[in-house]
Amino acid sequence: MDVSPVKQRVSKIWIIRTGAFDGLALLAPALALIRAEAPGAALRVLISRENAGPAQSLVGGIDWIATSLDPAQPENRADPEELARIERMLRDDAPDVLACAAPEADWLALRLAGCCPRSLRVAVRCRETSAYPVTTRCDAGEGGWREGQALAALILGKSLRPRPVEISTGAADELVAIRRELEETRRKLEETVGERGRTTSESEGWLRKLAQADEEIARLKAEFGAKSAETDLLRLRIEEREASLRNMASGHVALELHKHYQRIVRQKEAAILALDRVCREREALIGRLTLEATRGGALSRRIGLAAAGFWSAKVAAPLRRLWEDFLLEGTRRSALGEPRQHPARRAAWDRRLAPRRIRASRLPRIGLVTPSLNQARHLERAIASATRLQAYPRLFYVIQDGGSSDRSIQVIRAAESQLHGWLTGANAGKGDALARGFDSLAGALAPDDVMAWLDGDDVLAPGALRRVGDYFARHPRVDVVYGHRILIDEDDREIGRWVMPQHDAETWRWVDWVPRETLFWRKRAWDRAGGIDPSLHYTLAWDLLLRFEATGARIVRLPRFLGAKRVGDDTPAPAVQARKDREIRALLDRVHGASFDENRQRYEARRAAVRSAWCEALLRLGIRW
C-alpha cells in the first residue's frame, strides 16, 4: 500500500459512497477507525438514499447525506436540482479531504471533485484517469477491514496498526443478513428470468395455437351463419308449400297456379337480365378494343373515362346525396315508412276531393269488405267513413266478423241498413275473412267494377269513393289505383302523413309501403291475379299488388289522401312480429329468389323516401305531382 505524506490534522472530511449496498463493508471499518483516530473531525458521508437507513446504524457521530443521484446512470439523466444542492453543500463546507470510495471513477466523483480544488482528493479502488485528479491511490486486497484500514490511513495521512474498533454488533449482523438476503434475491431473480424465458417461449406457442383456434372458430361461425340462413330459407319455403297445399285443398287452385307461374316468370326474368348484362359487357369490351386499336382513340377514351369517373364520384354523387339529405331533413312531417312523425292534431283532408263528377249511372260498382275481430271501439267510425261520409250510390259493403266477443255485433246491426250484407263466425285469419267476404260479392260485381277492403280500425277519407269511382270511369284502361295516407291515433287525430310518389313497379318489389286502405282495383285484375291469399295475414296487400304487377295490370297512384291508418301505442308481441317477418321474407324469396340483395332493398327504400319528400315539398306549394 502506497501512502503519501499528507497533513496530520484533519478537521473536515467528505466521503462519497453512492454505489451498491455491499460497499458498506468498506465504509463501516473505515468510519470506525477515523472516529477513533480523529474524534474531533467533522465527518460527512454522501450515500444513496436506499442505503441511508441501514448505514445510519453502523457508526454514530456521522452526518449522513442521502441523495438520489446514481453514478450507474448517465449524467444527463440526473436530477439537476439535486446535483446543484450537493455541489452547494460541498463548496460551502470546503472539506480538507474529499475521498471517493467507489468501484471506479464515476461521473459523480469527477463532477464533485471540481467543486473543491484545494481539498486533498483520495480514491480507493478507482482507476486512475487524467480526468480525475487522484492525489493518492490505494489498491487494497479483498476484505472489508483491510480496505477500511487503508482508506482511513489515506484520509488521516498516517499508518494505522490493526486495533479493535467499536461497531454496533446489531448493525453488523443486520448488514450481513441484508447481504445474504440480497444474494438470495439475486439467485431467485436469475431463476425467475430463466423460467420466464421458458414460459415466454411456451406462451408464444400457445398464443399461436389460440390465434389459429380463433380463425377456425370464425370460419365455423361463418359457415354456421350461412347454413342457418339456408335453413331459415328452406323452412320458409316449406311453410309456403304447406300453405299452398291448404289453399288448393280449399279450392284456391287458380291462386296457387298464378303464384307458381309467377316464380317461373321471375326466374326467367332473372336469367334474361343476366344475359342482357353479359351482352352489354361484351359490347362495351368490343367498343373499348376498337377504340384502343388506334392511339388517338385510346387516349381519348382514357381521358373520357377519367373525366366521367371524376364527375360521378367527386361532383354528381356528393351533390345528389346532399340534395336527398336536404329533402329528407326538410320534410320530417312526411317521412315515408315512419308510423309517428309529429304531435297529434286535427286531421286535414283534401278540400276538394272530387272537383268534377259524372252521372251516377256511369260510375262502377265498388265492392268493399271490412274484416273485423273485437274492434267495436273503432268499427263504428270505420263504417261511418265508408257509408255516411261517402254517399256513394253504387256501394256494396260487406262486413266479415270473426266471432267477436265485444260490442261489434251490436255496432254492425245498428248499421245493417247501409250494408250489402254481413256475416259472423270463426275463420282462419284475416286472409280467410277477406276471401269469404269477396266471395260473397262475386255475383254482384262485373269485370270492370272495383274492389277494395277497409280494416275495422282504419277509415276512408270523406269523398274518397267518389274520387276513385270517377277516376275509374274516366280511365277504363286503368286496373289499380292507390293514394296518399294519413296516420291517426286512437282519437282520430293526425300524427303523420305518407305522401306516396308516383308509381314505380321496381321500388314496390322491394319495400311494402303501399297503403292498403287506399288500394282499389278492378275485378278483372283480381280474377287474373287469382284473388286474395288466405294463408297470409300481414302482407296481403303487398302480395296482391305484386301479383297485379305480374299479370300486366296498369297501376296508377292518385295524388290525393284517400284513407287513414290507425297507429296504436302497443308494441307487437314477439310471435306477431316473427310471423310478419316470415311473411315478408317468404314474399321476397318468391319475387327475387337467390338474387335478393339487402343493399338493393335499402337503396330502393331511400329512393322511395326521397321521391316522397319531393312530392311533399311540391304539395306544400299546391302542386300535386
Higher pLDDT residue, 138 or 178? 178
The H-assigned helical ranges of 38-77 are: 49-56
Mean pLDDT, rounded, for 96-114: 71
Lowest mean pLDDT among 18-27, 180-189, 313-322, 362-371: 18-27
The pLDDT score that the predictor gives to residue 409 is 95
Separation of alpha carbons 363 and 204, rounded Å: 85
User: How would DSSP label each residue in 493-561?
Assistant: EEEEEE-PPSP-HHHHTT-----GGG-EEEHHHHHHHTS--TT-SSSHHHHHHHHHHHTT--EEEEEEE
Express each pLDDT in 445-466 by its tens digit.
999 999 999 999 999 999 999 9
Task: Label residues 197-206 b or e (16+ Cβ within 10 Å = b).
Answer: eeeeeeeeee
Reply yes or no on whether the pLDDT at 414 is more than 80.
yes
Cα R_g (the chain), whole angstroms = 50
User: Long-range contacts: 124-131, Cβ < 8 Å, 24+?
Assistant: 124/26, 124/99, 124/100, 124/150, 124/151, 124/154, 125/101, 126/100, 126/102, 129/105, 131/105
Query: Which helix or strand (DSSP H or E) is residue 275 part of?
Result: helix 253-292
Mean pLDDT, rounded, for 542-563: 94
Mean pLDDT, rounded, for 212-225: 82
- Kindly indicate the confidence band of residue 167, based on its pLDDT and cuts at 50, 70 and 90: very low
- Kindly indicate the confidence band of residue 141, based on its pLDDT and cuts at 50, 70 and 90: very low
The pLDDT score that the predictor gives to residue 334 is 46
- What are the residue ranges spanned by the domains of the chain? 12-167, 333-620
Reply yes or no on whether the pLDDT at 198 is more than 90.
no
Separation of alpha carbons 409 and 154, rounded Å: 124
CATH number corresponding to 333-620 = 3.90.550.10
Lowest mean pLDDT among 19-33, 73-87, 107-121, 254-268: 19-33
The pLDDT score that the predictor gives to residue 331 is 46
Mean pLDDT score of the chain: 79
Instruction: Look up the pTM and report it.
Output: 0.59
Higher pLDDT residue, 520 or 158? 520
Other Cβ atoms within 10 Å of 212 Cβ, number: 10
Higher pLDDT residue, 141 or 99? 99
Cell numbers at residue 493, please? 287525430
Reply yes or no on whether the pLDDT at 165 is more than 60.
no
Q: What are phi and psi of 66, to 5 degrees?
A: -85, 140
Strand 459-460 to strand 421-424: parallel, antiparallel, or no bridges (unpaired)? unpaired
- Kindly indicate the confidence band of residue 138, based on its pLDDT and cuts at 50, 70 and 90: very low
Reference 498, options 560, 544, 549; nearest CA is 560
Higher pLDDT residue, 88 or 313? 88
Q: What are phi and psi of 7, to 5 degrees?
A: -65, 145
CATH number corresponding to 12-167 = 3.40.50.2000
Express each pLDDT in 603-625 by its tens digit.
888 888 888 888 888 888 888 87
Reply yes or no on whether the pLDDT at 517 is more than 90.
yes
For residue 425, give the amino acid letter.
Answer: G
The pLDDT score that the predictor gives to residue 356 is 59
Higher pLDDT residue, 407 or 109? 407
